[in-house]
Amino acid sequence: MENTIPHRVCDFLKGFPPFNLLSRDVLLGIAGRVVVRYCRPEEAIFRQGDAPGSYFYVVREGAVKLFREEDGETILVDQCDEGGLFGLRPLLAGGPYALTARASEEALLYAVRVDSFREVMETDPGAAFYLASSFAASAGERYRGRKGSLFPEKDKLAANQFPLLEVLSLERSKEPVTCPPGLPVREAAGIMAAREVGSIIIVDEHFAPLGIATDKDLRNKVATGLVGLHEPVEAIMSSPVISVPPDITVAGVQIEMVRRRISHLCITEDGTDGSKVLGVLSEHDLMVMQGNNPAILVREVRRCRDAEGLRELRERSEELLKKYLYQEVSISFISTFMTEVNDEIIRRAVQLGEAEMEAEGRLKPQAAYCWLALGSGGRGEQLLRTDQDSALIFENVPEEDKERTRAYFLALAGKVTQMLHRAGFEYCPGDMMASNPSWCLSLDEWKKQFSGWIFEPAPKAVMMCTVFFDFRPVFGLEPLSELLSRHIFDAIQEQSVFLNFLARDAIQNPPPLTFFRNFVVESSGEHKNEFDIKSRAMMPLADAARVLILNAGIAGVNNTFRRFEKLAELEPANGDLYEQAADAYELLMRYRALQGLKNQGPGRYFSPSELTRMERLNLRNSFQPIKSLQSLLRTRFQLSFLGG
């Protein structure tokens, strides 16, 4: 009779990396030598300092915690749930165990023989890559991402074929073509033609960059007759030169070009314009190196003339988003890129709206204004085309001009929100948009609005703050946004108890797992039996990060995982928790985006029954910091005294 135990072991292991990368025959051979081990609660599997054994371990049921003994303290390093790997030192490194592994509850383990798996690693680079990453993480090194992929079927492809753009260094660039500042324009243009380049760096006697002249400068300044051919090239150069260090990544170059709206960067010895020029990079160079360039996409948005064009470009950006997600490019880079695309779409929509208003004969008021992104857009976390959250702030005007001024900006906001809707961004169901008269206010009116929320923190006021406190300027006069932000911080300092109410609101959503570690799903309505990843998992983390960063008095950090990273710097004692929370939020953003792209929607709801074992494991692990953060909030803000 066929022995079914190896087949059962094989069926379990194939749901988790790196075993899912192996053929069934190879995996059956490994499963046939697996030893099943039962552990009682608190039983040690191995201890720090023990000699490495002949096995590494996979958690079949239960959970195992890993600890490090350091300076007389026992520090929790990690926890492994179903499918988790630990004890990899015998396989990947010499020397004694660096951690202690202890069952935190009744646990069933699969002990995998080191010698049988070492042969697999020699022939399967994907499995070796995954195990090396897992070992680095369990050894205490911070590993951005996960111990398992959200899409394990792509692991081998990602490990073997795609370089991570975040760490793809620019190993070479075009040799710099340079000239002194006094060289006549005619001669500088002759050098560019002879060298077949589109730019020339103007340098001082130490070969440090003073400025850059490009084909565009020749067209706009010389061909038009504004500057003569006999005049020195410094008359047409752009200065100062945007310089970067030689170790900058492709991702870094893309972000610099998008943010600064430039097409050339200068590489210098130390990344400043005070050191020697080493090379020059253009958008074309990036396209050749990588085959795609987000900066080009953003430039096309700036040239759009209608909502249909904006929709098409946003769809193209989502194709690039999908590519980056499956290549496991860092969420930090992806969110920066998508934020720049979204911002540029909003800016273009506002510009087109202004042009329509002018064509209709609507006279623009003298007051300047600023368009604000709110919610996930304000935090720079809107990867998909979800609903619009926006506001408009305009300069204070005399009372007799206020309604006329407001009427213009409301009409403009109506055109903008309509255009964004046609471009694929849904209207906000709660009407939190600049086209709503409640959210199209003068600076003083906005100050009064926020003061009311802060000094009279009723439940609705606190709820509004969770949306409006994450505002970010996208278009217009940014100092208006800065003045409002300063007013908010001053008001919070004066009414410090407000943060207690904000903290109490942040713990209203309990951790998203039941006592038996099942997903908490919706009990009724359209999404009955579905899991709400936004309200159950992402918002508890975002809300905690917001109240903690406000309490720390830090302005200008809106993004959730960057808030956690900043908090980790400010509070080393809670650094591990904040870093875990940052990693968890990045994973949740990635998973929601994948769900949204898969189902052509916002990715907010999904059925837990449709998840693979690996997906369930990754998501459950990402929920772990929520309970700890909520406990921290209860203690720090004394919420028991407020009924929290």
- Tell me how far apart the alpha carbons of residues 252 and 561 are, in angstroms, rounded to a whole number: 19
Q: What is the CATH number of the domain that holds 541?
A: 1.20.120
User: Do 45 and 61 belong to one domain?
Assistant: yes
The 8-class DSSP code of residue 222 comes to I
- Tell me how far apart the alpha carbons of residues 381 and 593 are, in angstroms, rounded to a whole number: 10
Tokens standing for residue 40: 């009682």
The 8-class DSSP code of residue 62 comes to S
SS (H, E, C) 391-452: EEEECCCCHHHHHHHHHHHHHHHHHHHHHHHHCCCCCCCCCCCCCCHHHEEEHHHHHHHHHH
Q: What is the CATH number of the domain that holds 198?
A: 3.10.580.10
- Tell me how far apart the alpha carbons of residues 296 and 317 are, in angstroms, rounded to a whole number: 11
627 falls within a domain: yes
User: Do 444 and 305 belong to one domain?
Assistant: yes
pTM, rounded to two decimals:
0.63
Q: Where are the alpha helices (DSSP H) in 277-431?
A: 283-290, 294-302, 307-326, 331-359, 375-378, 399-422
495 falls within a domain: no
The 8-class DSSP code of residue 519 comes to B
306 falls within a domain: yes
- Tell me how far apart the alpha carbons of residues 367 and 396 are, in angstroms, rounded to a whole number: 7
Contact 481, 472 (CB under 8 A): yes
User: Do 311 and 372 belong to one domain?
Assistant: yes
Residue 125's pLDDT is 55
552 falls within a domain: yes
Residue 289's pLDDT is 53
Tokens standing for residue 566: 């900043």
Last residue of a domain, one of 249, 265, 290: 290
Q: How many CB atoms lie within 10 A of CB 194?
A: 9
Residue 127's pLDDT is 62
Domain limits at 448? Answer: 296-452+467-478
What three-state secondary structure class fits 72?
A: coil
154 falls within a domain: no
Angle between helices 498-506 and 478-494 in degrees, nearest 10? 100
Nearest to 57 by CA among 70, 75, 39: 39
- Tell me how far apart the alpha carbons of residues 408 and 424 are, in angstroms, rounded to a whole number: 25
User: Do 271 and 312 belong to one domain?
Assistant: no
User: What's the sign of the alpha-carbon dihedral 540, 543, 549, 550?
Assistant: negative
Identity of residue 524? S
What three-state secondary structure class fits 623?
A: helix
Last residue of a domain, one of 255, 274, 290: 290
Residue 291's pLDDT is 44
The 8-class DSSP code of residue 85 comes to E
User: Do 228 and 262 belong to one domain?
Assistant: yes
User: Do 448 and 302 belong to one domain?
Assistant: yes
User: Do 327 and 361 belong to one domain?
Assistant: yes
Last residue of a domain, one of 143, 159, 189: 143
User: Do 312 and 281 belong to one domain?
Assistant: no
Tokens standing for residue 132: 């090396």
Residue 411's pLDDT is 96
> How many separate domains does the chain show?
4
User: Do 231 and 134 belong to one domain?
Assistant: no
* Mean pLDDT by groups of 10 residues along the chain of 644 residues: 75 82 86 92 92 90 86 78 82 77 91 83 60 47 34 36 38 71 94 85 93 89 90 92 82 72 85 89 63 66 87 86 79 84 92 94 92 93 87 95 95 96 91 95 96 90 88 93 92 89 88 71 84 91 94 88 92 92 91 86 84 79 89 88 52
Q: What is the CATH number of the domain that holds 126?
A: 2.60.120.10
Angle between helices 575-599 and 613-636 in degrees, nearest 10? 140
- Going from the C-alpha of 545 to that of each of 466, 502, 548, the distances in angstroms are 11, 11, 5
User: Do 126 and 260 belong to one domain?
Assistant: no
Integer-rounded Cα Rg, in Å, for the chain is: 28
437 falls within a domain: yes
Tokens standing for residue 104: 């935190």
Q: Quick one: 226 exposed, middle or buried, by C-beta within 10 A (0-12, 13-18, 19+)? A: exposed
493 falls within a domain: no
β-strand 64-70 against 73-80: which pairing, if any? antiparallel
Q: What is the CATH number of the domain that holds 363?
A: 3.30.460.10
Q: Report the phi/psi class of residue 225: left, alpha or beta, with left for phi > 0 and alpha for psi in -120 to 50.
A: left
Tokens standing for residue 564: 């956690």
User: What's the sign of the alpha-carbon dihedral 555, 560, 562, 567?
Assistant: positive
Residue 68's pLDDT is 84
- Tell me how far apart the alpha carbons of residues 438 and 449 are, in angstroms, rounded to a whole number: 10
Tokens standing for residue 632: 């921290």
- CB-facing half-sphere around the CA of 343: CA atoms within 13 A: 23
User: Do 441 and 573 belong to one domain?
Assistant: no
- Going from the C-alpha of 630 to that of each of 467, 507, 511, 554, 624, the distances in angstroms are 19, 6, 9, 20, 11
Tokens standing for residue 544: 């905690």
527 falls within a domain: yes
- Going from the C-alpha of 241 to that of each of 234, 254, 536, the distances in angstroms are 12, 16, 47
Residue 150's pLDDT is 40
SS (H, E, C) 258-278: HHHCCCEEEEECCCCCCCCEE
- Going from the C-alpha of 417 to that of each of 348, 428, 486, 534, the distances in angstroms are 12, 10, 28, 23
User: Do 324 and 473 belong to one domain?
Assistant: yes
